[in-house]
Amino acid sequence: MMPTLPTRRRAAVLTWLVTLSLGVQLAEAECQIDAQFPDATLDDWQQREFEGRTDYALQHQDGKPVLVATADGTASVLYRERELDVTRQPMLQWSWSVDDVYDDIQEMTRAGDDFPARLYIVVRNGFLPWDTLALNYVWGSQVESGTAWTSPYTDKAHMIAVRAGRDRAGDWVCESRDVVADFQAAFGVTIDRIDGYAIMVDGDNGDRRARARFGDIAFRARDPVSD
Protein backbone atom coordinates (compact mmCIF):
# COMPACT_ATOMS: atom_id res chain seq x y z
CA MET A 1 0.00 0.00 0.00
CA MET A 2 1.29 3.48 -0.86
CA PRO A 3 1.94 5.79 2.10
CA THR A 4 -0.69 8.36 3.04
CA LEU A 5 0.55 11.94 2.58
CA PRO A 6 -0.58 14.91 4.68
CA THR A 7 -2.98 17.27 2.95
CA ARG A 8 -0.54 20.19 3.25
CA ARG A 9 1.88 18.32 0.97
CA ARG A 10 -0.68 17.76 -1.78
CA ALA A 11 0.59 20.51 -4.06
CA ALA A 12 4.20 19.34 -3.87
CA VAL A 13 3.31 15.74 -4.52
CA LEU A 14 0.94 16.58 -7.38
CA THR A 15 3.79 18.42 -9.04
CA TRP A 16 6.17 15.54 -8.42
CA LEU A 17 3.96 12.59 -9.31
CA VAL A 18 3.10 13.84 -12.76
CA THR A 19 6.75 13.97 -13.68
CA LEU A 20 6.70 10.26 -13.13
CA SER A 21 3.55 9.92 -15.22
CA LEU A 22 2.18 11.71 -16.82
CA GLY A 23 -9.88 28.43 -23.38
CA VAL A 24 -12.17 27.42 -25.47
CA GLN A 25 -15.14 25.33 -24.47
CA LEU A 26 -17.26 23.93 -27.28
CA ALA A 27 -21.01 23.73 -27.21
CA GLU A 28 -22.15 20.47 -25.67
CA ALA A 29 -23.81 19.43 -28.93
CA GLU A 30 -20.40 19.46 -30.64
CA CYS A 31 -18.97 16.93 -28.21
CA GLN A 32 -20.09 13.37 -28.76
CA ILE A 33 -20.82 11.57 -25.51
CA ASP A 34 -19.19 8.17 -25.16
CA ALA A 35 -19.43 6.51 -21.76
CA GLN A 36 -16.70 4.05 -22.65
CA PHE A 37 -13.45 4.41 -20.72
CA PRO A 38 -10.54 4.34 -23.22
CA ASP A 39 -8.56 1.57 -21.47
CA ALA A 40 -9.73 -1.99 -20.96
CA THR A 41 -7.60 -2.30 -17.80
CA LEU A 42 -5.89 0.06 -15.35
CA ASP A 43 -2.48 -1.51 -15.94
CA ASP A 44 -1.12 1.74 -17.41
CA TRP A 45 -2.48 3.82 -14.54
CA GLN A 46 -0.94 4.41 -11.10
CA GLN A 47 -2.47 5.67 -7.87
CA ARG A 48 -0.95 8.03 -5.33
CA GLU A 49 -2.54 8.68 -1.95
CA PHE A 50 -2.79 12.01 -0.16
CA GLU A 51 -5.34 11.26 2.57
CA GLY A 52 -6.64 7.72 2.48
CA ARG A 53 -7.44 5.94 -0.75
CA THR A 54 -10.20 6.86 -3.15
CA ASP A 55 -11.54 3.69 -4.76
CA TYR A 56 -11.03 3.53 -8.53
CA ALA A 57 -12.48 0.53 -10.36
CA LEU A 58 -13.50 -0.38 -13.88
CA GLN A 59 -17.09 -1.51 -14.15
CA HIS A 60 -19.32 -2.31 -17.10
CA GLN A 61 -22.31 -0.19 -18.00
CA ASP A 62 -24.38 -1.17 -21.03
CA GLY A 63 -21.55 -3.49 -22.03
CA LYS A 64 -18.89 -0.76 -21.94
CA PRO A 65 -16.09 -0.21 -19.41
CA VAL A 66 -16.61 2.79 -17.14
CA LEU A 67 -14.25 4.05 -14.46
CA VAL A 68 -16.09 4.47 -11.16
CA ALA A 69 -14.39 6.56 -8.46
CA THR A 70 -15.66 6.70 -4.87
CA ALA A 71 -14.25 8.96 -2.15
CA ASP A 72 -15.20 8.61 1.51
CA GLY A 73 -13.32 11.40 3.25
CA THR A 74 -10.34 10.39 1.14
CA ALA A 75 -8.07 11.85 -1.53
CA SER A 76 -5.95 9.91 -3.96
CA VAL A 77 -5.23 10.48 -7.62
CA LEU A 78 -5.19 7.99 -10.49
CA TYR A 79 -2.73 9.06 -13.15
CA ARG A 80 -1.33 7.88 -16.45
CA GLU A 81 1.94 8.60 -18.21
CA ARG A 82 1.14 9.67 -21.72
CA GLU A 83 3.10 12.15 -23.80
CA LEU A 84 0.90 13.59 -26.53
CA ASP A 85 1.50 16.15 -29.26
CA VAL A 86 -1.21 18.78 -28.94
CA THR A 87 -0.15 20.95 -31.86
CA ARG A 88 -2.41 18.91 -34.13
CA GLN A 89 -4.88 17.64 -31.54
CA PRO A 90 -5.38 20.32 -28.89
CA MET A 91 -9.04 19.57 -28.15
CA LEU A 92 -9.54 17.46 -25.04
CA GLN A 93 -12.91 15.73 -24.92
CA TRP A 94 -14.18 13.58 -22.08
CA SER A 95 -17.38 12.30 -20.55
CA TRP A 96 -18.19 12.15 -16.85
CA SER A 97 -21.02 11.89 -14.37
CA VAL A 98 -21.32 12.72 -10.67
CA ASP A 99 -23.89 11.43 -8.22
CA ASP A 100 -24.09 14.78 -6.42
CA VAL A 101 -22.10 17.88 -5.42
CA TYR A 102 -21.03 19.22 -2.03
CA ASP A 103 -23.06 21.59 0.15
CA ASP A 104 -21.57 24.31 2.38
CA ILE A 105 -18.18 24.50 0.72
CA GLN A 106 -15.83 27.29 -0.36
CA GLU A 107 -13.86 25.68 -3.16
CA MET A 108 -11.30 28.43 -3.62
CA THR A 109 -9.87 27.82 -0.14
CA ARG A 110 -7.69 25.00 1.13
CA ALA A 111 -10.44 23.85 3.48
CA GLY A 112 -12.83 23.66 0.52
CA ASP A 113 -10.49 22.11 -2.02
CA ASP A 114 -12.72 19.04 -2.48
CA PHE A 115 -14.39 18.17 -5.78
CA PRO A 116 -16.75 15.36 -6.80
CA ALA A 117 -14.78 15.01 -10.04
CA ARG A 118 -11.50 16.31 -11.48
CA LEU A 119 -9.45 15.74 -14.61
CA TYR A 120 -5.84 16.98 -14.54
CA ILE A 121 -3.70 17.77 -17.58
CA VAL A 122 0.00 18.10 -16.83
CA VAL A 123 2.95 19.61 -18.70
CA ARG A 124 6.64 19.57 -17.75
CA ASN A 125 8.21 22.99 -18.17
CA GLY A 126 11.73 22.34 -16.93
CA PHE A 127 14.29 19.70 -16.04
CA LEU A 128 13.68 19.43 -12.31
CA PRO A 129 11.02 17.08 -10.88
CA TRP A 130 8.91 19.96 -9.59
CA ASP A 131 8.99 21.88 -12.87
CA THR A 132 5.42 21.12 -13.96
CA LEU A 133 2.20 22.98 -14.65
CA ALA A 134 -1.24 21.48 -14.23
CA LEU A 135 -4.75 22.38 -15.34
CA ASN A 136 -7.52 21.05 -13.09
CA TYR A 137 -10.80 20.69 -14.93
CA VAL A 138 -13.33 20.26 -12.12
CA TRP A 139 -17.01 19.69 -11.55
CA GLY A 140 -17.67 22.38 -8.97
CA SER A 141 -20.25 22.45 -6.23
CA GLN A 142 -20.91 26.08 -5.30
CA VAL A 143 -18.78 28.05 -7.77
CA GLU A 144 -20.33 29.10 -11.06
CA SER A 145 -19.58 27.14 -14.20
CA GLY A 146 -16.76 28.84 -16.10
CA THR A 147 -15.05 30.15 -12.96
CA ALA A 148 -11.25 29.87 -13.03
CA TRP A 149 -8.78 30.44 -10.19
CA THR A 150 -5.31 29.58 -8.99
CA SER A 151 -5.08 26.54 -6.73
CA PRO A 152 -4.91 27.51 -3.03
CA TYR A 153 -1.97 25.10 -2.75
CA THR A 154 0.30 26.23 -5.59
CA ASP A 155 0.49 28.77 -8.39
CA LYS A 156 1.60 25.92 -10.68
CA ALA A 157 -1.94 24.53 -10.74
CA HIS A 158 -4.95 26.32 -12.22
CA MET A 159 -8.55 25.36 -11.54
CA ILE A 160 -11.33 25.62 -14.14
CA ALA A 161 -14.91 24.76 -13.21
CA VAL A 162 -16.05 23.44 -16.57
CA ARG A 163 -19.29 22.36 -14.90
CA ALA A 164 -20.85 23.17 -11.55
CA GLY A 165 -23.91 22.45 -9.46
CA ARG A 166 -26.32 19.55 -9.40
CA ASP A 167 -28.48 20.42 -12.43
CA ARG A 168 -26.88 17.62 -14.44
CA ALA A 169 -25.89 15.39 -11.52
CA GLY A 170 -26.65 11.78 -12.36
CA ASP A 171 -26.39 12.42 -16.11
CA TRP A 172 -23.55 11.60 -18.46
CA VAL A 173 -22.13 14.90 -19.71
CA CYS A 174 -19.53 15.49 -22.40
CA GLU A 175 -16.97 18.29 -22.13
CA SER A 176 -14.59 19.78 -24.67
CA ARG A 177 -11.65 22.09 -23.94
CA ASP A 178 -8.80 23.56 -25.97
CA VAL A 179 -5.85 22.72 -23.70
CA VAL A 180 -3.42 24.88 -25.67
CA ALA A 181 -5.68 27.91 -25.22
CA ASP A 182 -6.30 27.06 -21.56
CA PHE A 183 -2.58 26.75 -20.72
CA GLN A 184 -1.94 30.06 -22.49
CA ALA A 185 -4.71 31.78 -20.56
CA ALA A 186 -3.76 30.25 -17.20
CA PHE A 187 0.04 30.42 -17.32
CA GLY A 188 0.97 32.57 -20.32
CA VAL A 189 2.80 29.68 -22.02
CA THR A 190 2.33 28.03 -25.38
CA ILE A 191 2.53 24.25 -25.12
CA ASP A 192 3.11 21.72 -27.89
CA ARG A 193 2.65 18.57 -25.84
CA ILE A 194 1.30 17.22 -22.57
CA ASP A 195 3.07 14.67 -20.37
CA GLY A 196 0.15 12.95 -18.69
CA TYR A 197 -3.28 13.22 -17.19
CA ALA A 198 -4.99 12.20 -13.99
CA ILE A 199 -8.43 11.59 -12.51
CA MET A 200 -9.39 12.45 -8.97
CA VAL A 201 -12.42 12.36 -6.68
CA ASP A 202 -11.69 13.73 -3.23
CA GLY A 203 -13.43 14.69 0.00
CA ASP A 204 -10.63 14.69 2.56
CA ASN A 205 -10.64 18.36 3.59
CA GLY A 206 -14.26 18.29 4.74
CA ASP A 207 -14.68 14.55 5.34
CA ARG A 208 -17.06 14.45 2.37
CA ARG A 209 -18.33 11.57 0.27
CA ALA A 210 -18.67 11.50 -3.51
CA ARG A 211 -18.90 9.14 -6.44
CA ALA A 212 -18.18 9.92 -10.08
CA ARG A 213 -17.90 8.01 -13.34
CA PHE A 214 -15.54 8.68 -16.22
CA GLY A 215 -15.97 7.56 -19.81
CA ASP A 216 -14.05 8.61 -22.88
CA ILE A 217 -10.87 10.72 -22.63
CA ALA A 218 -9.51 11.71 -26.03
CA PHE A 219 -7.62 14.42 -27.89
CA ARG A 220 -8.86 15.64 -31.26
CA ALA A 221 -8.11 18.28 -33.87
CA ARG A 222 -9.91 21.61 -33.85
CA ASP A 223 -12.86 21.83 -36.19
CA PRO A 224 -11.95 23.69 -39.41
CA VAL A 225 -12.91 27.36 -39.39
CA SER A 226 -15.59 28.23 -41.93
CA ASP A 227 -15.03 31.21 -44.26
Domains: count for the chain: 1
> For the whole model, what pTM was predicted?
0.84
Q: Is residue 31 part of a domain?
A: yes
Are 6 and 35 in contact by the 8 Å Cβ rule? The answer is no
Q: What is the mean pLDDT of the chain?
A: 85
Please give the full DSSP string across 103-119, using - where no structure is assigned.
SS--TTSSTT---SEEE
Q: Is residue 178 part of a domain?
A: yes
- How many CB atoms lie under 10 A from the CB of residue 129? 14
Is the pLDDT assigned to residue 16 strictly greater than 50?
no
Q: Is residue 2 part of a domain?
A: no
For residue range 198-217, list pLDDT tens digits in order. 999 999 999 999 999 999 99
Q: Is residue 132 part of a domain?
A: yes
**Per-residue confidence band for 32, with pLDDT thresholds at 50, 70 and 90:** low
Q: Is residue 187 part of a domain?
A: yes
Are 201 and 55 in contact by the 8 Å Cβ rule? The answer is no
Q: Is residue 1 part of a domain?
A: no
Q: Is residue 226 part of a domain?
A: no
Side chain identity at 225, as an amino acid letter?
Answer: V
**φ, ψ of residue 84 in degrees (nearest 5):** -130, 140
What is the chain's percent helix, strand, coil content, to nearest 5?
10, 45, 45
Q: Is residue 197 part of a domain?
A: yes
> Which domain covers residue 25, as residue numbers?
7-220
CATH of residue 146's domain is 2.60.120
